[in-house]
Chain A
Amino acid sequence: MTNDLLGVINLGTEEGLFPEFTGHRNLAAVPFSGRYRLIDFTLTNMITQGINQVGIFTLDKYRSLMDHLGSGKEWDLDRSQGGLHIFPPALKPDGEAYLGDLANFSMHREHFVRSKQPYVVITGSNVLTTIDFQDMLDHHKSMGADITLGYAAHEQKCGYCRPIRLGENDRVVGIGERGYSPDDEYTYTETIIMSKNLFLRLVDEATSKGEYDLLDGVIRPQLHRLHVHGYHYTGKMQVIHSVLSYYNESMRLLRQEGIIYDFPHIYTKIKHEPPTRYLKGSKVNEALVANGCKISGEVQNSILFRGVVVSEHARVKNSIILSKSIIEEGAVVENAILDKEVVVKRGQVIRGTIDEPIVIGKRTTV
């Protein structure tokens, strides 16, 4: 069965967020929930719904993302028909990067022209949903819309989200700036569906006028002219855009509120780690633990990524420990986020607060 949707994951609008973690990686490549990277959720959602051609448009720092995605095999996207396409940022002849996502789409226009799918679905990587793209497309068609945008009820006070204002029959009449205001009822899920032809026309028009942002430069100014429709998403949503949101959304996973249990499987790069070993005297509670860890100490209300070592009498509490970090004997880590391969030496104490978790950079020894 062929699928009418061409998947587009647009990382162009996510630059500059969460600098503590994205100094050396895309936001899309930020590790989340013990064994995944953020992009796994969008990719998984797309492929489990039968989308078999996905283009990922990057703007910067895409090494770790490319390493993660490889040929797309883990997502069943190493295909002769369709498959995974990764687009490095478009550069101007003078070597400078283009300003926004539109330039990137325009530069790689041929990808859209060649693909056979009549519709495009455009999403990002840092708003995690289980949105049903097929249902959204059906809705798009039955409403005769030009463009359909996903929206959800404002649950969390999300300072990153854009409010959406709806008129009659779920027609989108306004898209606000990023930020939270208690008056806003709905928030944009960063999901767009439109026909490929319209998409190409809009991209061409806008780039000729020097616009560089799809939502702000193209869709927002034309809300009165185009039929832009809203699609109500009622499932869970997790938005990651800052240290605090990363921390809080991770902690939600431990209260079983996260999105990870809403997918039958989540696909990611396989590392072939052995199972986790719990040694004598280990005390682990309310913890999400990936494979390859070795735990002799105490772990409470925390997330351990692959290959973490918690030594004897060490204590980890309310923390997120990324892959291959080592907590030595008697060390204490509380309310902290440790990036990959951090070593906390014997007896050291790292302590943040719930409202301001401390972040320790990659490969740091404390």
Chain B
Amino acid sequence: MKQEMVAMLLAGGEGKRLGPLTRKTAKPAVHFGGKYRIIDFPLSNCTNSGITTVGVLTQYEPLELNRYLGIGSAWDLDRRNGGLAILPPYQAQSGKNWYEGTANAIYRNLSYIDDYDPEYVLILSGDHIYKMDYEKMLDFHKEKQADVTISVMEVPWDEAPRFGILNTSDDLRIKEFEEKPEKPKSNLASMGIYIFNWKVLREHLIQDAEDETSSFDFGKNIIPNTLLDGLDVFAYKFKGYWKDVGTIQSLWEANMDLLEEDPPFDLYDPDFKIYSVNPNQTPQFIGKDACVEQSVINEGCRIEGEVQHSVLFYDVRVGEGSLVKDSVIMPGARIGKDVTIHRAIVASCAVIEDGATVGEPGGEIVVIEPHENIESGTVFKQRA
């Protein structure tokens, strides 16, 4: 059945820089914000933008992600027509290969997109925390009669060399794309969100697949080629919170952003809800001698100790006499009695036994791995 726009979400990334958090799970499945996983943001954006057909391309460690996505019910994507489809690499007559790059992943699923005969295809990634109405971007794309529209953010000039930078004319027509330029001519950074006219993308994917020198990548090949071909490529300026959470430091920072008095990122807008799979836990219980301030705490937690300036996911226990400060505690973690935790990310189901110390004020961010056990009385300040 025809759909005006189909979204393709690239969720096969390994997220190497997240270290132990992505050792056994794909980056889009990493926990964020007390309740969510990274992929909840692009998926909820789709739901809130009226996009009902979403292909999720998976490759690296997909078990946890697949189980989480299910049939897409949490995001209202369990649909008779369209809905959520998980698209892993598969064996074909032409061979059996892994997805070789972002463009290759889409190329290998041409027939999935063709089935919906769309006018437009939206390319997304599962790497960022942001809220965005893609329908507004599509309106802009139509208004400009563009072939390709790339969503961009103004970034501080000194940070521009870390991004893919787009040089535009006054009407936001893109003239040039530079990947991580030493001397940027603009501070408009690509957010890795593209809308293509499907006919244009289809042609370019086929051409790219035949080019043996290509890296089969949107940023490196497809976008530069559309510019070379003189197509109408426009930049859509996005204003708002957008954060890459690809490193331990940035993941921790983005969580801490939620704790400000007026958070730069608002999870509480009833007209733009972020959806996630519900763990069906009882409400949180705050005990008699507990003290909780400047924190975000999810259901199923039981707090008997002190929690300051921290994010706690569901089903976390904090025992009597313990202090959790400036930290992120992921689902199912158990923190015993008289434990002190500073500036840490405690991954899911980790156990911190009574009297242990993790991290230190002002220190590096310490990560406790999923299911890791920190024994009673241990002082754990940095991973050797």
Contact = CB atoms under 8 A, between A and B. Distances in A.
Interface of A: 33-35, 73, 256, 260-261, 265-268, 270, 272, 274-292, 294, 299, 303-304
User: On chain B, which size bracket covers the interface?
Assistant: 35 or more
Contacts, number: 98
A323 to B, nearest CB: 12
Cβ-closest 9 pairs across A and B? A34-B283, A275-B34, A274-B267, A275-B298, A265-B280, A290-B283, A270-B278, A278-B292, A284-B286
A204 to B, nearest CB: 40
Given A261-B282, A272-B274, A274-B268, A282 B293 contact: yes
Nearest to B259: A277
If over half of B's interface residues share one DSSP class (helix, strand or loop), that class is named, otherwise mixed; here it is loop
B297 interface: yes
A289 B276 contact: no
B268 A278 contact: no
Contacts of B292: 278, 282, 284
A275 B297 contact: yes
B298 A291 contact: yes
B290 A284 contact: yes
B376 interface: no
Interface in B222-276: 261, 267-268, 273-276
B267 A73 contact: no
A4 B285 CA distance: 38
A280 B287 contact: no
Contacts of B102: none
B107 to A, nearest CB: 35
Contacts of B285: 256, 287-289
Contacts of B261: 279-280
B284 interface: yes
B288 A288 contact: no
B271 to A, nearest CB: 12
Q: Which of B286, B292, B307 has the most CB of A within 10 A?
A: B286
8 contacts: A33-B282, A260-B282, A265-B281, A278-B296, A280-B293, A284-B290, A289-B284, A290-B284
A33 B283 CA distance: 8
A265 B299 CA distance: 12
A279 B35 contact: no
Given A285-B288, A288-B285, A35 B293 contact: no
B280 A286 contact: no
B33 interface: yes
Contact of A276 (B273, B284, B287): B284
Contact of A290 (B34, B35, B276, B299): B299
B283 A275 contact: no
Contact of A278 (B35, B288, B289, B297): B297
A287 B297 CA distance: 13
Contacts of A33: 282-283
B322 interface: no
Contacts of A287: 285-286
Contact of A285 (B280, B286, B295): B286
B73 interface: yes
B267 A285 contact: no
Contact of A275 (B35, B278, B293, B294): B35
Nearest to B314: A275
Given A34-B282, A282-B292, A290-B283, A276 B297 contact: yes
Nearest to B276: A272
Interface in B35-72: 35
Contacts of A283: 291
Given A35-B283, A282-B293, A291 B274 contact: no
Nearest to A260: B282
Given A275-B34, A282-B293, A286-B286, 11 more contacts: A34-B282, A266-B280, A274-B33, A275-B33, A275-B267, A276-B296, A277-B296, A278-B294, A285-B287, A290-B299, A292-B268
A298 to B, nearest CB: 12
B326 to A, nearest CB: 14
B278 to A, nearest CB: 5
B73 A266 contact: no
Interface string B204-238: 00000000000000000000000000000000000
A290 B282 CA distance: 8
B358 to A, nearest CB: 21
A280 B286 contact: no
A283 B286 CA distance: 10
A285 B268 contact: no
B277 to A, nearest CB: 9
A270 B76 CA distance: 12
A282 B307 CA distance: 11
B284 A35 contact: no
Contacts of B307: 278
A292 B266 CA distance: 12
B288 A286 contact: yes
Contacts of B288: 285-286
A268 B281 CA distance: 10
B296 A275 contact: yes
Contacts of B293: 278-282
Contacts of A290: 283-284, 299
A304 B282 CA distance: 12
A280 B267 contact: no
A81 B280 CA distance: 24
Nearest to A256: B285
Interface string B1-39: 000000000000000000000000000000001110000
Given A275-B33, A276-B297, A277-B296, A285 B283 contact: no
A294 B268 CA distance: 10
A285 B304 CA distance: 9
B45 to A, nearest CB: 14
Nearest to A274: B267
Contacts of B296: 274-278
Nearest to A292: B268
B26 to A, nearest CB: 23
A35 B299 contact: yes
A304 B292 CA distance: 15
Interface in B295-310: 295-299, 307
Contacts of B283: 33-35, 288-291, 303-304
B294 A279 contact: yes
Contacts of B290: 284-285
B294 to A, nearest CB: 5
A303 B285 CA distance: 9
B282 to A, nearest CB: 5
A274 B273 CA distance: 8
B35 to A, nearest CB: 5
Given A279-B293, A285-B286, A286-B288, A272 B267 contact: no
A313 B297 CA distance: 21
